[in-house]
């Protein structure tokens, strides 16, 4: 009986009241109940009949040592853990519970749960080990299946997030293949992309290959297993590639891979073929429906990823074409203005070049450079609203005429503000006549209130204007212009911009 006051759950034996009834009860219990004596061989004294269902061996096989010991049935990967737990339990005089695997007489692998305790005599010496071993394979398989389903759901979520957050097709394909190889326990996988312009399947990405066999793939629809999958729209399964001589002829390197199993899944999105997902195994394994369902789900994700990446690329190309069309329109406006105001012919493109050089040295980000270029291109677009009598006057302007001329930044602002595409480019057309000391126009901004792009442009604009011939004056010598810009530092010009301008003085003066 069990002593309820004992922390060690020791067994104490007295004279059996009804040994036959007790043995019958024990033999009827599921699992294997045993007792082994503490001798050099841990000799079995009793084994219940449940051992036959559990291990395939009879009680006599254990009792008469027809097999070496129960320990021989423990899975090699688990044996060390079991033995360490037994030793620890004996030393601490405590029972233990452990889950591990055994291999039955037929070779079947089972998960078992063992509860074991020691029986000690009055001197504290271990006399027997007793225990109960039960089959928990079904429970473990159910738990493993639930965990596998959770892992696969998590994988699909991660793939979905990657597809949503990345426009880099190559990065997405590599991530997908990593998940396919690890979650489906295959040896290698690749994705072939369909190219509509050539009507060929070409290499996209791969994982797990020993050679570069597939990196030169160019298959027509219907050609090879991948081509057949793409053309038919159905999965192609090959359970023994070694028996398929045509497969090896596709590439001599494929023979070196040692593949046995193949699965090719067509990747369709919105009714169009995107490519083919191929997975390979170097050993034969049964394909269960759950595994195949997950493979098809991953193939669906791959098709979505390719479709999204191609759609993003098309949008990029469309935007690029649209931006080119916009910029061509802007240049048309500037040419129209230069045809009207011939004294500034060529001025715009020279000042753009210098402005961009100064901006880059001053650390303006690459994302702002296109906007600065457009602003510089359109800096005088407001002069379209200035009457010819004022704009084309060959001599000096009167004060009233200057009041009219000073309206051209306002006209530029009113002209360009409704165009969202040009909103970031407005700083130069609207503010390039503001001055560092606040005496400029149209808003009398001062110092850092003036946008940086306008402060940069102001130096470049004055440099080009004064070094160019105009109907009412000849070009100044460059040394005189340099001296003028220095004298206006802190008044007209931002000192930091002038400092950078001076570093560019020699190439400008040459």
Q: Which tens digits make up the pLDDT trace of 429-450?
A: 999 999 999 999 999 999 999 9
Residue pair 441/409 in contact (Cβ under 8 Å)? The answer is: yes
CATH topology of domain 341-509: Hypothetical protein af1432 (1.10.3210)
pTM for the whole thing?
0.50
Residue pair 337/380 in contact (Cβ under 8 Å)? The answer is: yes
- pLDDT tens for each residue of 80-91: 888 888 788 777
- Provide φ and ψ at 213, rounded to 5°: -55, -40
Q: Name which of 15-24, 426-435, 487-496, 498-507 the model is least confident about.
A: 15-24
- pLDDT tens for each residue of 395-424: 788 999 999 999 999 999 998 898 888 888
Instruction: Give the pLDDT mean for 137-162.
Output: 73
Residue pair 117/7 in contact (Cβ under 8 Å)? The answer is: no
Instruction: Give the pLDDT mean for 321-337.
Output: 78
Nearest-5° Cα angle at 99, 49 to 102: 55
- pLDDT tens for each residue of 331-354: 787 777 776 665 555 788 889 999
CA distance 228 to 181: 23
CA distance 437 to 325: 39
397 vs 23, higher pLDDT: 397
pLDDT of residue 18: 52
19-135 shares its CATH topology with 142-314? yes
Nearest to 97 by CA among 53, 47, 132: 132
Residue 159, pLDDT > 80, answer no
CATH topology of domain 142-314: Beta-Lactamase (3.30.450)
Can you state the angle between helices 478-487 and 452-466, rounded to 10 degrees?
140
Q: Name which of 46-60, 239-253, 265-279, 434-448 the model is least confident about.
A: 239-253
Instruction: Give the pLDDT mean for 21-47.
Output: 82
Domain 19-135 has CATH 3.30.450.20: yes
Domain map of the chain by residue range? 19-135, 142-314, 341-509
313 vs 426, higher pLDDT: 426
Element (H or E) spanning 49, and its range?
none
Confidence of residue 5 (pLDDT cuts 50, 70, 90): very low
CA distance 296 to 343: 69
pLDDT of residue 399: 92
């Amino acid at each position: 009986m069990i002593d309820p006051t004992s922390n060690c759950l020791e067994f104490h034996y007295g004279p059996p009241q009804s040994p036959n009834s007790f043995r019958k009860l024990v033999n009827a219990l599921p699992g294997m109940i045993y007792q082994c004596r503490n001798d050099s061989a841990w000799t079995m004294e009793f084994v219940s009949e449940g051992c036959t269902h559990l291990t395939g061996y009879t009680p006599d096989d254990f009792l008469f040592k027809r097999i070496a010991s129960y320990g021989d049935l423990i899975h090699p990967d688990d044996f060390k853990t079991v033995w360490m737990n037994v030793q620890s339990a004996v030393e601490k005089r405590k029972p233990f519970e452990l889950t591990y695997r055994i291999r039955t007489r037929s070779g079947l692998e089972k998960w078992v749960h063992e509860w074991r305790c020691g029986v000690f005599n009055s001197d504290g010496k271990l006399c027997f080990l007793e225990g109960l071993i039960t089959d928990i394979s079904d429970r473990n398989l159910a738990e493993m299946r639930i965990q596998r389903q959770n892992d696969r759901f998590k994988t699909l979520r991660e793939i979905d997030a990657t597809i949503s957050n990345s426009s880099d097709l190559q990065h997405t394909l590599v991530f997908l293949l990593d998940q396919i190889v690890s979650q489906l326990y295959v040896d290698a996988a690749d994705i072939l992309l369909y190219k509509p312009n050539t009507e060929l399947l070409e290499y996209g990405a791969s994982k797990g290959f020993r050679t570069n066999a597939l990196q030169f793939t160019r298959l027509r629809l219907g050609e090879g297993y991948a081509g057949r999958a793409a053309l038919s729209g159905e999965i192609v399964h090959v359970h023994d590639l070694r028996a398929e001589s045509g497969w090896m002829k596709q590439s001599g390197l494929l023979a070196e891979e040692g593949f046995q199993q193949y699965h090719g899944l067509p990747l369709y999105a919105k009714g169009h073929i995107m490519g083919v997902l191929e997975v390979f195994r170097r050993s034969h394994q049964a394909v269960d429906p759950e595994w195949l369902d997950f493979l098809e789900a991953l193939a669906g994700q791959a098709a979505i990823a390719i479709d999204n990446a191609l759609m993003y690329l098309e949008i990029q190309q469309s935007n690029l074409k649209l931006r080119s069309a916009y910029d061509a329109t802007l240049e048309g406006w500037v040419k129209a203005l230069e045809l009207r105001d011939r004294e500034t012919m060529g001025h715009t493109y020279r000042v753009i070049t210098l402005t961009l050089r100064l901006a880059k040295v001053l650390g303006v980000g690459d994302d702002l450079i296109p906007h600065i270029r457009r602003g510089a291109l359109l800096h005088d677009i407001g002069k379209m609203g200035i009457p010819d009598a004022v704009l084309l006057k060959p001599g000096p302007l009167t004060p009233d005429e200057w009041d009219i001329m000073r309206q051209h930044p306002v006209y530029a602002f009113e002209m360009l503000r409704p165009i969202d595409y040009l909103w970031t480019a407005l700083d130069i057309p609207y503010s390039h006549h503001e001055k560092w000391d606040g005496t400029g126009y149209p808003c009398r901004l001062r110092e850092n209130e003036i946008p940086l792009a306008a402060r940069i442009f102001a130096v470049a604009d004055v440099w080009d204007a004064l070094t160019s011939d105009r109907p009412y004056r000849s070009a100044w010598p460059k040394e005189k212009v340099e001296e003028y810009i220095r004298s206006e530092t802190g008044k007209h010009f931002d000192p930091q911009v002038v400092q950078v301008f001076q570093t560019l003085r020699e190439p400008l003066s040459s």
